Structure 1
Amino acid sequence: MKDIYTLFRHSMAGLRVLVAMTLLLGLAYPLAITGIAQVAFPWRADGSLITAAGTHTTDAHDAVGSAIVGQVGDSDALFRNRPSAAGNGYDMLGTAGSNLGPNSSDLVASIERRRAEIAAREGVDPADVPPDAVTASASGIDPDISPAYAAIQVPRVARATGLAEADVRRLVEEHTSERTWGVLGEPRVNVLELNIAVRELAGS
């Protein structure tokens, strides 16, 4: 009888801890963090949405996209994102990498195909196509490209928009972010923000 009572007492103690931690970590903590984010960083908390004028917004109806999600595009007048392995191209419901390893014949074939297509489109040697132009990111929705990939796209965008290459190159430089805190990641260019700036300068 004593053993049953001890088991019951321990089980109830465990249950109380489970309920308390569920309420604390599953309800109170997420609500607190969400509240702080909404007050301190409302634009970030609501999806980092951007309008056609390049301004931040928290209204999805005014937005043309998100600064943290890549977009599919095929206009010669705009910069292109890196490839996406997420469903139907930058599908936020299917964010993931391809999970193909370096020895995968499918991965090698897709990289070579992309390299040839990009080299032809941008009028450069295949050896000048940077790695991020032919490989998808781990998330599948990466909104950024490398300055090297942006650089080989400058002549095409300039021709299509009628802008001077120097002006387009200046926009790339203005929208290039350095390593986070000077040490994390690599320099990167946000494609959506850059394309908005290009269209604004071109008057379209």
Structure 2
Amino acid sequence: MIREIRPAIVLLVALTLITGLAYPLAMTGIAGVLFPTQAQGSLIEKDGKVVGSALIGQEFKDEKYFHGRLSATTAPDPADSTKTVPAPYNAANSGGSNLGPTSKALADRLKEDVDKLKTENPSTPVPADLVTTSASGLDPDISPEGALFQVRRVAKARNMPEERVRELVAQNTQARFAGLLGERRVNVLALNLALDAAAK
């Protein structure tokens, strides 16, 4: 009986060592050499201090900053563990709101957000990404149209010329990957850091 079981045990140990230890370590090492920034979480630093990641959005409420996509992520309510509370860009609980197109709550929220944004820029149509959430709730990017829509508010709050703010948006607009995949986008954290640097 031992003769029949021994190959199974050897195979189990060998595959565990190969797929559970050697392969992950090799891939981590290769990723660290070929893509050092991405392997460390695409961290963004300011004055030697980590201020965020290029892969996870942040909530900017101040009028002098560009605002990112809305986030529907939640966290447990500290007062009642059976409930949740909004926690924008909560990477520990990535997900969307799961509200569908027939949801009254979603329709009401969209109308309220669109009306609010129209007061800030009445002559321009509101870009969809400024009033919709992403599936992950962590999206760090907005469309160039979403950034340009906010130029007037940001320039006014910072007392900067609108043209200068538009230049910063253009400088921080990323092209499609290899010119084919994805859409043009603006990383909100990178743009806001460029804005702070330009204001000095």
TM, length-normalised to structure 2: 0.84
1:108 Cα deviation from its structure 2 partner: 2.1
Q: Which has the higher strand share?
A: 2
Partner of residue 154, structure 1: 151
Residue of structure 2 in register with 1:78 after alignment: 65
Q: Which runs of 5+ in 2 are unaligned?
A: 75-86
> In the alignment, which residue of structure 2 is the partner of 1:124?
122
Q: Say which is worse superposed, 39-48 or 75-84, in terms of deviation.
A: 39-48
The reply on whether 1:141 has 2:114 as its aligned counterpart is no
Partners of 2:106 and 2:6 lie apart in 1 by 53
Question: Which runs of 5 or more residues in structure 1 are unaligned?
Answer: none
1:109 and 2:108 matched: yes
Which shifted more, 21-30 or 158-167?
21-30
Find the aligned partners of 2:96 and 2:11 in 1 and give their Cα distance: 37
Count of aligned residue pairs for this structure pair: 188
Question: Residue deviations 1:114-154, cap 9 Å, x none?
Answer: 2222222x2325x7111111111111111000011101100
Give the corresponding residue for 2:94: 95
Distance 1:12 1:51, change over 3 A: same
TM-score (ref. length: structure 1): 0.83
Q: How many angstroms apart in 2 are the aligned matches of 1:155 and 1:196?
A: 18
The amino acid of 1:49's aligned partner reads L
Deviation at 1:105, TM superposition (A): 2.5
Higher helix share: 1
Aligned to 2:160, the other structure's residue is in SS state: coil
Contact kept in structure 2, 1:162 and 1:202, CA below 8 Å? no
Equivalent residue in structure 1 for 2:177, among 177, 180, 194: 180
TM-superposed deviation, 1:13? 5.0
